[in-house]
Amino acid sequence: MKVYPFYTAITTCSNLYDVSMDPVEFEEIGWIAWEKIGNKDCRIYKLETWLNGEDSLTLPTNCEKVDAVSNNIPEFQDTDNVQRFNYIPSWMESYVEGRTNYNRSPLYVKGKLLKGWKERNGELWFDTPIHGNVTILYKGIHADETGLPFLNQKELEAIACYCAMTYHLKRGMKMRDRTSLEIGNMLKADWNRLIIRARTPIKLSQNDLNTILDARSSWDRHKYNKSTKIHK
């Protein structure tokens, strides 16, 4: 699946609708359009960082949800109830981790899972200060280094149409221009069509959609005491 940078939509808007917008204004309007579409291409990311006595850290801008947090201390089972750090099991666990590390998933999180943390306002807060390496496994949006999401072809066309529609409607209301208002209303009809098209995941084929629609139609037959077998 080919993806495009977010700012490609401003070029598409200029090419398709002959509308030139300020980059700051485009980013605000384009972000609203992307939120209205609602398709978030999320992936699993792994972040490793070092904390020197801090009780919080700033999460990446594309972070949607934190799944797991761990430190670099090997997790092992003590053989007695004495409250001390047992070095021998720790060394043995580190040795096992090192010997089996070659066949592990890149997203494998080693060490002991931390429980006393909370995610709040783009930051991760810990109950106690942390000293050492911390590994975070989180679900994030597929975005560039600035945090803006990548777009597929359908989202690109829909966002460009929304920006052009907003530009003409705002210009028409501000300048009392009837022509701009008419163009904005025409683009609004195109936007309603393109947003439905963009909300359909690009990974779904027409055969998948037919299967979903057939199953939904068959489910509606329950109230009529008809057969619920999928028609082919």
Average pLDDT, the chain: 82
* pLDDT above 80 (res 83): no
pLDDT score at 232: 44
Tell me the one-letter amino acid at 183: I
- The model's pTM is 0.72
Specify the higher pLDDT residue, 228 or 88.
88
For range 9-26, the mean pLDDT: 93
pLDDT score at 80: 63
pLDDT score at 103: 65
55 class by beta-carbon count within 10 Å (0-12 exposed, 13-18 middle, 19+ buried) = middle
* Cα gap 131→154, rounded to integer Å: 46
Specify the higher pLDDT residue, 76 or 147.
147
* pLDDT above 80 (res 196): yes
Question: Closest Cα partner for 10 from 24, 185, 55?
Answer: 24
Specify the higher pLDDT residue, 132 or 185.
185
Contact at 8 Å (CB) between 5 and 144? yes
For range 80-85, the mean pLDDT: 62
Least confident of 13-17, 22-26, 39-43: 39-43
For range 177-194, the mean pLDDT: 94
